[in-house]
Structure 1
Amino acid sequence: MKKLLLILITLIVVIGAGTWVAFTFYGSPFEKNKAEEKMDEQLVNLGIGDEDIAGREIEYNKKFGKYEIDIEYKGEENLTYTYLYRSDLDRVLLIEIYDDQKQETVREGEHDSTLNYSV
C-alpha cells in the first residue's frame, strides 16, 4: 500500500512539474486562444477584415511571459505590426511597427499607430 501511494505521489509531482515547465517555456494554450480572440476583436474594432491581412503569427515571449502577435497587412508588406497580449489588462497593445526595408522602427502605419495606445 505504501509503495502504491509513493508511486502515485511521485507521478503527481512529475506531471505537475512537467506542466509547470511547459507553461513557463511555451505559454498557456488557454492564454494563446484568449490572445487570438482579443486580437480578432481589436481588428474588428479597427475595421480590418481577414482580407486585409497578408500574414499573421503568434508566439510566446519567454522574457515577458506574454504572447506577441505579428501582423503584416496587405499593401504594407514592408511593415510588421507587433502586438502584445496583456492578460492583466485583458487587451492587446501595439508595441512596435517595424519597417523591414529601412530596418528601423516607425511610429505610424496605414492601419494602426503606436500613438493610439496607453496603458
Structure 2
Amino acid sequence: MSTLRQLTTQEHDLVLWMLEHGNPEAIGFLPQLEQALVTPWQCLCGCASFNLAVPGMPDHKGGMHILADFLFGDPEELSGVFVYEQTGVLSGLEVYGLAGEAPKTLPSIASLRPFVDAASQA
C-alpha cells in the first residue's frame, strides 16, 4: 500500500518558485508547502503531475483554483505547468502538453516563462 512521501528537492523547489512568481495570493500558500506531502496518486497518462496533502488541513474538495501557471518548451513541444489549490488547501502540480503529450518529467525552473493568454496578444 502506498503512503504519503516527502517532496523531492526538485518538486519542492519548483513549487516554491512557482508560488513566489505566481498570482498575488500564491505567496500565502508558502507555509503549506513546507508541510506538504505527495500523495500516492499517479496520472493515468504517465505525466509528471502530482497531488499534495497538507497534514492538519481539511481534505481538499471542489474545483481547482490556479495559483501559478507557466509555459515551457519549444513551439513544437510546448507544454505548461500549474500549481493549484482547492478550498484553501495547496493541492497539486499539473503538467500538461499543448503541442503533444504531457511531459513525463518536471520542467526546470530556468525553462519556465509566464503563460500569456493568446487573446491578449491579438
What TM-score do you get using the length of structure 2 for normalisation? 0.30
**Larger relative contact order (CA 8 Å, sep ≥ 6):** 2
| Structure with max Cα Rg | 1
Indicate the structure with greater strand content.
1
Indicate the structure with greater helix content.
1
